[in-house]
């Protein structure tokens, strides 16, 4: 099929176009005009939405770039050897207080003499502050006649070893 430019030119001539437009009735012209108008409005709205998403993405990237890199905190149970050394140091420093390390890396702090109450409280405070890498939680705290026989002061502490990783939160 050979393209004939003269025939194409004749079909696009103004006289042919005006006859074609006259062939359409007014209702058809209104429907076609509304369809094209709606398409143009929807296209404008789509371009506006794309523009808003590009602006939002750029703002999110800038905000992430400004966010400081914060290290991640990691909580682990201390090693048994660490706990054993810890208990030995405490026992050597406070011979009037009894320390028992549990299998679950817990620490029982016991005083059997009521006159050692202040020392027992001091030991609990000392345990909390002596090692910055440990975070201690009191699981059981008993003072007085409701405690087990022979132990008027007892506290069960559990330890978590705190460490930090260099990977920040701005990923």
Instruction: Choose which CATH entry (2.30.30, 1.10.1660, 1.10.10, 3.30.70) describes domain 74-165.
Output: 3.30.70
For the segment 67-118, what is each residue's pLDDT rounded down to a tens digit?
A: 888 888 888 888 888 888 888 999 999 999 999 888 887 889 998 888 888 9
Q: Which 3 state secondary structure label does DSSP give 131?
A: coil
Domain boundaries, the chain: 14-66, 74-165
Least confident interval from 30-34, 68-72, 145-149: 145-149
Whole-angstrom Cα distance, residue 137 to residue 106? 9
14 confidence band (pLDDT: 50, 70, 90): confident
Residue 81 CA to residue 88 CA, distance in Å, equals 11
With 0.85 as the threshold, say if the pTM is over it. Answer: no
């Amino acid at each position: 099929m050979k393209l004939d430019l003269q025939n194409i030119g004749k079909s696009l001539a103004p006289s042919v176009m005006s006859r074609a437009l006259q062939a359409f009735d007014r209702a058809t012209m209104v429907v076609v005009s509304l369809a094209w108008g709606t398409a143009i409005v929807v296209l404008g709205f789509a371009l506006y939405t794309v523009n808003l998403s590009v602006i939002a993405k750029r703002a999110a990237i800038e905000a992430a770039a400004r966010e400081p890199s914060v290290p991640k905190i990691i909580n682990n149970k201390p090693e048994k050897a660490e706990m054993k050394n810890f208990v030995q140091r405490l026992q050597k420093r406070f011979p009037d207080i009894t320390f028992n390390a549990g299998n679950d890396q817990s620490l029982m702090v016991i005083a059997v003499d009521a006159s050692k109450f202040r020392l027992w409280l001091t030991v609990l405070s000392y345990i909390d502050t002596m090692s910055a890498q440990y975070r201690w939680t009191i699981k059981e705290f008993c003072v007085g006649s409701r405690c087990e026989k022979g132990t008027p002061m007892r506290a069960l502490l559990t330890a978590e070893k705190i460490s930090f990783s260099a990977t920040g939160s701005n990923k």
